[in-house]
Amino acid sequence: MSETPLCDRMRAAGDWNPAWDEMAEMDPDWIEGFMAMGLKPRLRGVLEPKIWELIAIAVDASCTHLYAPGVGRHIRKALELGATKEEIIAVLEGVAVLGIHSCALGFPLLARELEHLRRKEPQP
């Protein structure tokens, strides 16, 4: 089996997602490379660890991801790193605006269809 120092470090730190176990077993070189690529910004140390965890909360809580285990894991880690409840709430409220696109898309289409319907049927 290939050496996977990054994955091993993630497991030891509690940052490992058990959903990755099968990938790690079937292709340890690939998962090690993937983790190295995905974690490069974090490992460079440019962002404070707390900030990185807040970003991870936003990514996992976004309407396009909705990954509850990750949200919980990153909230726990952010709190351990000194994040406040208010900071985490601000992140969750900020990422909630992604869902507004459903309304921005849907309301104009609803208005268009209602207008078509109005033209075809007499008003009461």
With contact defined as beta carbons under 8 Å apart, do 54 and 87 qualify? yes
> What is the spatial distance between Cα 77 and Cα 61, in angstroms, rounded to a whole number?
15
**Which residues are CB-contacts of 94 (< 8 A; sequence separation ≥ 6)?**
58
| pLDDT, tens only, 38-94 | 888 888 889 999 999 999 999 999 988 889 989 999 999 999 999 999 999 999 999
pTM (predicted TM-score): 0.75
- Whether the CB-CB separation of 60 and 71 falls below 8 Å is answered with yes
